[in-house]
Chains A and B, each alone.
Chain A
Amino acid sequence: DAGITQSPRHKVTETGTPVTLRCHQTENHRYMYWYRQDPGHGLRLIHYSYGVKDTDKGEVSDGYSVSRSKTEDFLLTLESATSSQTSVYFCAISDRLARETQYFGPGTRLLVL
């Protein structure tokens, strides 16, 4: 298994509060991604990174921001959490030589009350 960890694994928060999710990899892969999984939608890309300090938006980026200050860490921030952001969040990584194959972390289950 690829060395990917996510923290926290579970979080309950209140509407309007900021939330930061962390993804940490030990594979030294260049590309990192944040997805959310919701029933009936599969996995949808939120943001991705193609290098340190290089990030771009995905399909459902509104309400989310990201940062990558080190190769191994990719942070996802919900500036002001809303109930519609209740979801399961997955981080993924891929190598520049086989970018099409992404490896996923264990996920973070977020509940916004």
Chain B
Amino acid sequence: DQQVKQNSPSLSVQEGRISILNCDYTNSMFDYFLWYKKYPAEGPTFLISISSIKDKNEDGRFTVFLNKSAKHLSLHIVPSQPGDSAVYFCATYSGNTGKLIFGQGTTLQVKP
């Protein structure tokens, strides 16, 4: 039973355009939502997070949107750069369990 789903295994965008990565979750009791970025042969790197009491958080080119009624999370990257090409994982956190639950990941390719 997958509690966190990233339904798009891959995404390709042109440099300078917007990249939108999506994530759906099933449990409305999560407290935080996070995005991680992973390059080949490296560990995941924390990118940005959002509390369940907010609907938007911005950090430079990265913005995370949370739609609690739809149980949907998205990451916007504007403008996209070739160095953004990586696998992106969304994750949910529950203060009750103290655990992260990850989606399957989306591979983003930004073409020059």
A interface: dominant SS: strand
Chain A residues touching B, range = 20 to 34
Nearest-Cβ distance from residue A108 to partner chain B, whole angstroms:
10
Query: In the complex the two chains form, is B43's CB within 8 Å of A104's CB?
Result: yes
Contact mask B62-86 → A, CB, 8 Å, 1/0? 0000000000000000000000000
Bound-complex Cα distance A50 to B43 (A): 21
Query: Which among B100, B102, B103 is the interface contact of A100 at CB below 8 angstroms?
Result: B100
Query: In the complex the two chains form, is B93's CB within 8 Å of A100's CB?
Result: yes
Nearest-Cβ distance from residue B108 to partner chain A, whole angstroms:
15
Query: Which among A48, A104, A105, A107 is the interface contact of B99 at CB below 8 angstroms?
Result: A48
A residues near B4, Cβ cutoff 8 Å: 42
Contact mask B41-74 → A, CB, 8 Å, 1/0? 1111110010000000000000000000000000
A residues near B49, Cβ cutoff 8 Å: 100-101
The reply to whether the CB of A74 lies closer than 8 angstroms to some CB of chain B is no
Contact mask A37-49 → B, CB, 8 Å, 1/0? 0001111110010
**Residues on B close to A: CB < 8 A?**
4, 6, 31-32, 34, 36, 41-46, 49, 89, 93, 95, 98-100, 102-105
Query: In the complex the two chains form, is A90's CB within 8 Å of B103's CB?
Result: no
Bound-complex Cα distance A29 to B98 (A): 14
Nearest-Cβ distance from residue A65 to partner chain B, whole angstroms:
19
- Specify which of B31, B44, B104 lies most central, judged by the most chain A CB atoms within 10 Å of its CB: B44
A-B contact pairs, 26 of them (CB 8 A): A31-B98, A40-B104, A42-B6, A42-B104, A43-B102, A44-B102, A45-B99, A45-B100, A48-B99, A58-B99, A90-B43, A92-B43, A99-B98, A100-B31, A100-B93, A101-B46, A101-B49, A102-B46, A102-B100, A103-B46, A104-B43, A104-B44, A104-B45, A105-B43, A106-B41, A107-B43
